[in-house]
Amino acid sequence: MIAAFAPATVSNVAAGFDVLGFALEEPGDIVVARLADAPGVVIGEVTGDGGRLSRDPGRNTAGAAVQALLAALGTRQGIVLDVHKGLPLASGVGSSGASAVAAVVAVNELLGRPASLEGVCQAAMQGEQAGCGAVHPDNVAPSLYGGFVLARSVEPPDIVRLPVPAGLSCAVLHPHQEVQTGAARALLGDSVPLSTAVRQWANLGALVSALHTGDLALLSRALVDHVAEPKRAVLVPGFARVKAAALEAGALGCSLSGSGPSIFALAPSPDEARRVGQAMATAFGQEPGPGADLWISAVGTTGARVVDLAGGR
């Protein structure tokens, strides 16, 4: 029996719609894998999902990812998966991707690591696509590799790992509501004005440069989303108030995490991220409606890993 943990992720990161993401240290999902006598993948115990996730392995992101891994390895070995959700569903922090990543990392370890890290990543992406209808490498890749990643291509996979400036930390406010990725994507339409695209490309290039040079002032100027945030912000009550509070408290930048409802803000250090996070939570509390979770984390450089359930991570 092998257990693996895969962390939450922030995707898009303002300027990097569908291509840029980074990992948190926590929270995340844990998947436990064990060998079975009969061939095929079986979904065993599932916790933390409120009974909502499919137990059909072909429609469950963890199960579908392991099916893809076993097919790539050419083995019919039987596997049972127990999925323990630490991430809320439809939360904008890569919940489905984390389950897929944790599952394939656990199974690859259980089988003696026959697949490369790139093969594990591809299986996780295939699993997420089968399980939830779309593939999001800007969630899957940072959850697996840790740190910042740029998904240059999906077919074939071309994942570029980027450096993380020392101390860079994040506050994530997760309102207790759900935003379905498909509905949020439908708001964007299928075209972007050229002038908008140029501004977005410029910010993405500057953001990547800032990560390489550790230039936090440039990073701050680059954390602007001209494509998704202007259309999706209406889905998250209080977003404008929370963003304004984060920036006033010293955040380098603030935007939606993925398609929302989670809102992230980057800060130069853990202490500053905590201060920014408290300002975000206070601002959100002024908005009538559901409560929220607040997560404070350094940008997680480790990514998915095998864990000891008895002794902790």
Please report which helix (H) or strand (E) contains residue 4, including its range.
Answer: strand 2-11
Residue 312, in any domain of the structure: no
Query: In the chain, which residues have pLDDT < 50?
Result: 311-313
- Cβ distance 221 to 206 under 8 Å? yes
Q: In the chain, at which residue ranges do the beta strands (DSSP E only) sit? A: 2-11, 20-36, 41-47, 78-84, 148-153, 158-162, 169-175, 253-256, 263-267, 292-298, 305-307
Quick one: 180 and 123 in the same domain?
A: no
Residue 237 lies in a domain: yes
The pLDDT, as a whole number, for residue 129 is: 87
148 and 7 inside one domain: yes
Q: How many CB atoms lie within 10 A of CB 154?
A: 17
- Indicate if 244 and 188 belong to the same structural domain: yes
Cα–Cα nearest to 132, from 81, 165, 97? 97
What's the domain count of the chain? 2
CB contact at 8 A, 266 and 170:
yes
Check whether residue 158 and residue 177 sit in a common domain.
Answer: no
- Answer yes or no: do 111 and 37 share one domain: yes
Instruction: Determine the pLDDT at residue 245.
Output: 98
Helix (H) or strand (E) holding 307: strand 305-307
The predicted pLDDT at position 130 comes to: 81
What's the pLDDT at 186? 83
Instruction: Based on the fold, state whether residues 10 and 157 are members of the same structural domain.
Output: yes
Token pair 């199974």 is at which residue?
107
Domain match, 152 and 220 both = no
Q: Are residues 15 and 86 in the same domain?
A: yes
Q: Say if 251 falls within a structural domain.
A: yes
209 located within any domain: yes
Q: Do 277 and 176 sit in the same domain of this protein?
A: yes
At 288-306, the pLDDT tens digits run 667 899 999 999 999 999 9
Within a domain: 313:
no
Give the residue from 288, 296, 306 showing the smallest Cα distance to 272: 296
Calculate the average pLDDT of the chain: 93
The closest alpha carbon to 103, from 90, 85, 118, belongs to: 85
Query: Residue 112 is part of a domain; what is its CATH number?
Result: 3.30.230.10
**Closest by alpha carbon to 100, among 53, 52, 159, 50?**
53
pLDDT attached to residue 126: 92
Give dist(CA 52, CA 67) in Å, integer: 21
pLDDT one-digit tens code per residue, 51-89: 899 999 999 999 999 999 999 999 999 999 999 999 999
Same domain, 143 and 22: yes
Q: Let me know whether 22 and 108 are in one domain.
A: yes
Residue 43 falls inside a structural domain: yes
pLDDT for res 289: 67
**What integer pLDDT is reported at residue 299 of this predicted model?**
97
Q: How many CA atoms lie within 13 A of 237 on its CB side?
A: 13
Domain extent at residue 137: 2-162+301-307
CATH number assigned to the domain comprising residue 290: 3.30.70.890
Q: Are residues 132 and 214 in the same domain?
A: no
Whole-prediction pTM: 0.94
- Residue 53 exposed, middle or buried by CB count within 10 Å (0-12, 13-18, 19+): buried
